[in-house]
């Protein structure tokens, strides 16, 4: 049904990938691997989405990256269809959002099973913002064995080494309260929130 509305299975897969991963950037071969489509079809649809303004692109280290354009006029309604975007608070009482097409990230289910995760964010390599010095922050009580298996799985999927930091909720809360430089830098960097049970990222 969605494919018929939007005219192309590849286009729908791309929209789901981008809208389920706001703030993340992808290069062409990474995209073809993640959505399992032919590179020529992917290039054609990326060109279409770029021309409309749904996605944007830029180059880092001689590699062209694409990400969803959050300034696009219809970013929010498309986000409600393809996942990753919430209705504004004032609209939630008037309109019931449809169920999301998929989770924010393919690894989200696996991540939630490693323990009681209060906060998890991608940054660094995932968002092309190296100011934090890490790629992932996990806050909560985790099972170390499951954590190691999860990180191995994530690195295999992303085909790169992932730098991560894990800390308990009390440590995170304290370090945020005292404006710890590391926590402040991580949260100020471009990031994608995977889990945030207590709106820790939004706290002042």
* CA pair distance 46, 90, nearest whole angstrom: 33
Residue 74: count other Cβ atoms within 10 Å of its Cβ.
11
List pLDDT tens digits, range 60-84.
888 899 999 999 999 998 988 887 5
Q: Which of the four pLDDT bands, split at 50, 70 and 90, describes residue 5? A: low
| 2-92: CATH topology | Arc Repressor Mutant, subunit A (1.10.10)
List pLDDT tens digits, range 14-62.
999 999 898 899 999 999 999 999 999 999 999 999 999 999 999 988 8
Tokens of 161: 């080494």
* CA pair distance 167, 97, nearest whole angstrom: 34
* pTM score, whole prediction: 0.74
**What is the end-to-end Cα distance of the chain in Å, rounded?**
42
Residues of the chain with CATH 1.10.10.10: 2-92
List pLDDT tens digits, range 156-201.
988 899 999 999 999 999 999 999 999 999 999 999 999 998 888 8
* CA pair distance 17, 148, nearest whole angstrom: 26
């Amino acid at each position: 049904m969605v494919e018929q509305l939007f005219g192309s299975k590849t286009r729908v897969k791309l929209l789901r990938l981008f809208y389920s991963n706001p703030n993340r950037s992808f290069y062409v071969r990474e995209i073809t691997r993640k959505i399992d489509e032919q590179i020529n079809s992917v290039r054609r649809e990326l060109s279409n989405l770029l021309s409309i303004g749904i996605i944007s692109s830029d180059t880092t280290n001689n590699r062209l990256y694409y990400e969803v354009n959050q300034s696009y006029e219809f970013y929010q309604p498309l986000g409600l269809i393809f996942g990753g975007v919430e209705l504004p608070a004032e609209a939630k009482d008037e309109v019931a959002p449809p169920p999301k097409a998929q989770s924010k990230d393919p690894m989200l289910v696996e991540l939630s099973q490693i323990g009681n995760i209060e906060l998890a964010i991608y940054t660094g390599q995932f968002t092309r913002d190296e100011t934090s010095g890490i790629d992932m922050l996990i806050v909560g009580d985790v099972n170390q064995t499951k954590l190691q298996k999860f990180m191995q799985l994530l690195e295999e999927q992303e085909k790169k080494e992932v730098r991560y930091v894990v800390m308990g909720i009390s440590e995170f809360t304290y370090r945020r309260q005292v404006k710890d430089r590391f926590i402040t830098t991580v949260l100020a960097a471009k990031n994608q929130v995977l889990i945030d049970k207590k709106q820790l990222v939004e706290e002042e």
